[in-house]
Amino acid sequence: MAAAGDGPWLDEAAGRLVRPFTVSNGRTRPSVALDLLSQVRTTGATPPGQLGPEHAQALDLCRSPVPVAEVAAHLKLPAVVTKVLLSDLVDCGALTTKPPEYQHNPTDRALLEAVLDGLRRQL
Residue 64 sits in a domain of what CATH number?
Answer: 1.10.10
* Domain assignment of residue 103, yes or no: yes
* Domain assignment of residue 4, yes or no: no
Q: Are 39 and 67 in contact (CB under 8 A)?
A: yes
pLDDT at 13: 56
pLDDT at 1: 38
Regions of the chain short of the pLDDT cut 70:
1-28, 102-106
pLDDT at 87: 92
Work out the burial of residue 28: count CB atoms within 10 Å of its CB; fewer than 13 is exposed, 13-18 middle, 19 or more buried: exposed
Q: Are 70 and 59 in contact (CB under 8 A)?
A: no
pLDDT at 69: 93
The four Cα atoms 95, 60, 26, 99 give a dihedral, to 10 degrees, of 40
pLDDT at 5: 45
* Domain assignment of residue 15, yes or no: no
* Domain assignment of residue 10, yes or no: no
pLDDT at 19: 53
pLDDT at 66: 94
Look up residue 51 and give its DSSP letter.
Answer: P
* Domain assignment of residue 6, yes or no: no
| Domain containing residue 40 | 22-121
Cut 0.85: pTM above it:
no
* Distance, CA of 62 to CA of 73 (rounded, Å): 13
* Domain assignment of residue 9, yes or no: no
* Domain assignment of residue 5, yes or no: no
What is the tally of structural domains in the chain?
1
How many C-beta atoms surround the C-beta of residue 77 within 10 A? 22
* Domain assignment of residue 69, yes or no: yes
pLDDT at 53: 83
